[in-house]
Chain A
């Protein structure tokens, strides 16, 4: 069983829909990253959070450390949001070498 599980694996939405991607983890972590990867490879860090909620534009990330769960929400989705979204937990110990990655959620937003 993977230590970081994402759901769904694939998601297709219509433009304008509200989207939720979930991330659950079975190990102790001190923080969690949400990453975005567009076709072609480059990865961009969207959020790093260790508690509560963060918002940036149409993106909202929440985390509940006790329940070992995080969600990424996209409001008013747009075709340019089509990408793979990856969550990654930072293992206790703090070293960024101890990131544990989920396998990613492939999002496709249709116009």
Chain B
């Protein structure tokens, strides 16, 4: 079975902390994505990557960075977490149009 695994389902962090959200896929997909999902705003693209070490900004990259050192792993980094980054974060991977999502990571920043 196809699998996209996000490292943490729930995280609580303090303002100013550095936060790492990890995503691993076992399908050898080239494309990987990070979205955040907020009530009333739907899913918004933060960053995506179409190959190892490649990254592209999405619609809302400010305050975030990403790392793709290996094909299977795409990490989202919040250098200095802020309360407005409290959200549900969803990772996805795709190949030939098929999309696979992780279970999501709900981050609360206090």
Contacts and interface: CB of A to CB of B under 8 A. Distances in A.
Interface in B15-40: 31, 33, 40
B104 A42 contact: yes
Contact of A96 (B33, B41, B88): B33
Kindly state the interface size class of chain B when it binds its partner. Answer: 20 to 34
Contacts, number: 57
The SS class assigned to the A binding surface is strand
Contact of A40 (B56, B99, B101, B103): B103
Interface residues of A, number: 21
B48 A43 contact: no
Interface of A: 31, 33, 35, 40-45, 48, 86, 88, 90, 95-97, 99, 101-104
B33 A104 contact: no
